[in-house]
């Protein structure tokens, strides 16, 4: 049976950090809000693997974003408000450097990392806490938005997998390149905007992140920080990813997706462990668990057609600060003029979009093209 069509003040497309922040702020200020999220979970590029109590756990490891830094005041304020516990990234000990001709060298100290903080229950715990602030019924999972249409009376009609809903305004809280690939806009978006959106790189959308869990952080006992840089590859950088107090014990690595295209994820995990043991020693050859995400294969993160000149200089561009047709507002980390790419950028973009909604007069008629 068809669902009753409802009218909202605002529909938010995407329940990553930006979309959740925008929805929460608008809801708190009396707006009726619907959030359509394509995945069956919230958080987008923030997702954590929960570890059951056992050899390595309990705890959580991050398969997407993980750190925030001291000067990132919006993330700090949100974690304070939500009562989300944080802890410092482990830095102590020496770093390692791997190159193809010279093998592995030990560096004095850790020039690889800068001081940063992490979420004690994972970045996924932080976004779940944020989603928990939304009133019942606001968030709809498994609802990829497929079309956004401005009707002759100026109302915006949004269609997702099973829903058709109307709103005065819409927040596009997903990377612009993904929005123009996945959503059919009527009227069509201006050509220069489509080009800018399609050529705006998705931050970390072409990276593989792999995490290995261990019964203990033996590298720390050897005076190593867990940080390493490799010019031999395929993984290029490594960091300690253990939980607060070293438990669960974990290391993670980043590799460019392009070099691992077509390789099954379990094989990437094997390659990762092989490289870990090459760099950190044979004890790293036997993790209790390995998790791999190739973010370029995530249909709701990376566009299928990556623009050949995907650009980061368009981050925070003016074109993304203006409402489109006076009804549509951009909000993802890529559109934030400050800290684009970071969680901080996403949070700021969410607040900025909510503010723009509140500054925009209600629609009176359809826009002229």
Ligand X SMILES: Cc1cc2nc3c(=O)[nH]c(=O)nc-3n(C[C@H](O)[C@H](O)[C@H](O)COP(=O)(O)OP(=O)(O)OC[C@H]3O[C@@H](n4cnc5c(N)ncnc54)[C@H](O)[C@@H]3O)c2cc1C
Which residues sit at the interface with ligand X, rule CB under 6 A?
A: 13-19, 36-39, 44-46, 64-68, 144-145, 173-175, 178, 182-183, 203-204, 207, 209, 295, 300-301, 332-333, 341-343, 345-346
- Nearest approach, Cβ of 217 to ligand X (angstroms)? 19
Cβ proximity to ligand X: between 206 and 216 the closer is 206
- Nearest approach, Cβ of 122 to ligand X (angstroms)? 12
- Nearest approach, Cβ of 137 to ligand X (angstroms)? 17
- Nearest approach, Cβ of 89 to ligand X (angstroms)? 9
Cβ proximity to ligand X: between 95 and 178 the closer is 178
- Compute the half-sphere exposure of residue 303: CA atoms within 13 Å on the CB side of its CA: 22
Q: How far apart are CA 130 and CA 17, in angstroms?
A: 8
Find the largest Cα–Cα distance for the chain. Answer: 69
Cβ proximity to ligand X: between 145 and 156 the closer is 145
Cβ proximity to ligand X: between 199 and 301 the closer is 301
Cβ proximity to ligand X: between 281 and 337 the closer is 337
- Nearest approach, Cβ of 106 to ligand X (angstroms)? 25
In the block, tokens 């410092």 appear at 88
Cβ proximity to ligand X: between 145 and 314 the closer is 145
- DSSP, collapsed to helix, strand or coil, labels residue 22 as helix
Q: How far apart are CA 305 and CA 178, in angstroms?
A: 9
- Nearest approach, Cβ of 271 to ligand X (angstroms)? 17
Counting Cβ atoms within 10 Å, is residue 136 exposed (0-12), middle (13-18) or buried (19+)? exposed
Cβ proximity to ligand X: between 54 and 259 the closer is 259
- Nearest approach, Cβ of 335 to ligand X (angstroms)? 8
3-state secondary structure 265-320: HHHHHHHHHHHHHHHHCHHHHCCCEEEEEEHHHCCCCCCCCCCCCCECCCCCCHHH
Question: CB within 8 A of 289, min separation 6: which ones?
Answer: 51, 56, 212, 213
Cβ proximity to ligand X: between 145 and 317 the closer is 145
- Nearest approach, Cβ of 123 to ligand X (angstroms)? 7
- Nearest approach, Cβ of 293 to ligand X (angstroms)? 7
Q: What are the phi and psi torsion angles at 258 (to 5°)? A: -55, -40
Cβ proximity to ligand X: between 30 and 349 the closer is 349
Question: CB within 8 A of 131, min separation 6: which ones?
Answer: 15, 20, 42, 139
- Nearest approach, Cβ of 237 to ligand X (angstroms)? 11
Relative to beta strand 6-13, strand 33-36 is parallel
Cβ proximity to ligand X: between 101 and 349 the closer is 349
Question: CB within 8 A of 238, min separation 6: which ones?
Answer: 96, 226, 227, 228, 229, 230, 251, 252, 253, 276, 279, 280
Q: What are the phi and psi torsion angles at 182 (to 5°)? A: -95, -25
Q: What are the phi and psi torsion angles at 328 (to 5°)? A: -110, 130
Tokens of 68: 């925030």
What is the length of the chain?
Answer: 369
């Amino acid at each position: 049976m068809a669902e009753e069509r409802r009218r909202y003040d605002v529909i938010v497309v995407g329940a990553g950090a930006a979309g959740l922040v925008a929805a929460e702020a608008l809801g708190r200020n009396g707006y009726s809000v619907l959030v359509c999220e394509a995945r069956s979970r919230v958080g987008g590029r923030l997702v954590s693997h929960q570890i059951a109590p056992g050899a390595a756990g309990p705890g959580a490891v991050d398969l997407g974003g993980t750190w925030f830094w001291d000067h990132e005041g919006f993330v700090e304020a949100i974690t304070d408000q939500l009562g989300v516990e944080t802890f410092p990234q482990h830095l102590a000990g020496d770093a390692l450097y791997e190159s193809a001709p010279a093998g592995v060298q030990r560096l004095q100290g850790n020039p690889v990392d800068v001081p940063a903080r992490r979420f004690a229950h994972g970045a996924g715990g932080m976004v779940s806490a944020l989603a928990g602030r939304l009133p019942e019924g606001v968030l709809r999972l498994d609802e990829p938005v497929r079309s956004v249409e401005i009707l002759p009376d100026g109302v915006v009609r949004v269609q997702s997998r099973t829903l058709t809903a109307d709103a005065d305004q819409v927040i596009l809280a997903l990377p612009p390149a993904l929005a123009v690939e996945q959503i059919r806009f009527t009227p069509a978006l201006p050509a220069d905007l489509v080009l800018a959106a399609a050529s705006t790189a998705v931050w970390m959308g072409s990276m593989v992140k792999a995490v290995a869990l261990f019964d203990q952080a033996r590298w720390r006992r050897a005076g190593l920080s867990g940080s390493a840089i490799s010019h031999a590859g395929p993984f290029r950088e490594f960091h300690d990813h253990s939980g607060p107090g070293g438990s669960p014990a974990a290391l993670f690595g980043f590799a460019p997706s392009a070099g691992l295209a077509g390789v099954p994820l379990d094989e990437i995990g094997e390659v990762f462990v092989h490289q870990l043991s090459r760099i950190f020693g044979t004890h790293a050859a036997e993790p209790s668990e390995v998790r791999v995400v190739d973010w370029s294969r995530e249909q709701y993160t990376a566009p299928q057609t990556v623009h050949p000149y995907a650009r980061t200089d368009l981050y925070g561009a003016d074109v993304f600060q203006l409402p489109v047709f006076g009804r549509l507002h951009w909000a993802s980390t890529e559109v934030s003029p400050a800290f684009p790419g970071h969680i901080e950028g996403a949070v700021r973009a969410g607040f900025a979009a909510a503010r723009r909604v509140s500054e925009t007069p209600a629609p009176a008629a359809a826009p002229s093209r």
